[in-house]
Amino acid sequence: MDSTGLDSVVLNFSATSMTVLNMVLAVVMFSIAIDLTPSDFRRLLYTPRALLTGLASQFLLLPALTFLLVLATQPQPSIALGLILVAACPGGNISNFITHRAGGNAALSVSMTAFATVGAIVLTPLNIAFWGGLYGPTRDILRATEIDPVSVAITVGFMLVLPLILGVTLRGAKPALAARLRGPLQTLSMVIFLTFIVLALASNWQNFKLFAGAVALLVFLHNALALAGGYGLATLARLSPFDRRAVTIETGIQNSGLGLILIFGFFGGLGGMAVVAAFWGFWHAVTGLGLAALMNRTKANR
């Protein structure tokens, strides 16, 4: 079957699966948050250039580059909206680990994840509505879906911001307990998340086999644009190589798990969108780890 049939495909994703994914993402965010203290945020406010560059790369540059990619390639509407939605999500949960492996500024990466997560309450639904509304075929999907930005904001808030607040609070009140929980929680949540993705793929294997080829090249290009855009903007902002690595990786690693939640919660599991987000979830880990291995060969100046 060709890609034109993808827009009519709805993937299988039960209410139980949604609940499990919600819980896993909340645990992942909580495990990241217990690495943070209020002083991490205050320190960045005194030296905000790297943080502001990263947030601009994440929420301004990447959605704009995505829109240009959509205009240049003219993919099927659901694929186009899937790319736009992924670009509108905050940085992915594995970006902090990959930045550390790359020899970049892991503290900046964690803080960028935290600030982007809070900002996503407003900026994720805004970017989906704005960029999706500029392109006629995706605008038609948004009109048919009648997506409510407030509902998206509430979903993002409960899934990401609440665990962030709880994690920072626990770190401040019980630092020893937070230190003991951090490693096991991160390992457990990532294992459960990967298992969940494998099971979701298995239950929709025929559809993924049919349509993965239709989105693979676009996801490769999209991810390359994200990494190149982050690196380019960080270079223009004259960030140190240490900070530049963090911005590059944070821009190229997207929270595709949140993307899947939004797709199944608000777009009924529309095939093109779901396949894009699922393929992103796999591919950004491959490119991120590969890039980290290359970057780690040389020490980054601070």
pLDDT at 140: 87
pTM above 0.85? no
Query: Topology of domain 3-295, per CATH?
Result: Na+/H+ antiporter like fold (1.20.1530)
11: DSSP letter: -
Q: How many residues does the chain have?
A: 302
- Taking Cα atoms as reference points, which of 287, 299, 301 lies closest to residue 95? 287
pLDDT-derived band at 1 (thresholds 50, 70, 90) equals very low
Domain boundaries, the chain: 3-295
Our measurement of the distance from residue 63's CA atom to the centroid of its chain's CA atoms, rounded to an integer in Å, reads 12
The residue with greater pLDDT, 7 or 100, is 100
Residue 4 predicted with pLDDT over 70: no
Quote the CA–CA distance of 80 and 276 in Å, as a whole number.
Answer: 9
8: DSSP letter: G
Residue 2 predicted with pLDDT over 50: no
For the chain, the average pLDDT equals 82
CB of 270 closer than 8 Å to CB of 263: yes
Report which secondary-structure segment, H or E, holds 101: helix 95-101
pLDDT at 10: 56
CB of 186 closer than 8 Å to CB of 51: no
pLDDT at 3: 46
Tell me the pLDDT tens digit for each residue of 236-280.
Answer: 999 999 999 999 999 999 888 788 888 877 887 777 888 888 888
Tokens of 190: 């990532």
pLDDT-derived band at 48 (thresholds 50, 70, 90) equals confident
pLDDT-derived band at 187 (thresholds 50, 70, 90) equals confident
Tell me the pLDDT tens digit for each residue of 63-92.
Answer: 999 999 999 999 989 899 999 999 999 887
CB of 24 closer than 8 Å to CB of 193: yes
- Residue identified by tokens 């994703």 is 13
Tell me the pLDDT tens digit for each residue of 145-158.
Answer: 766 677 777 777 77
pLDDT at 66: 97
Quote the CA–CA distance of 48 and 51 in Å, as a whole number.
Answer: 5
Tokens of 110: 């964690």
Region 7-31: mean pLDDT is 66
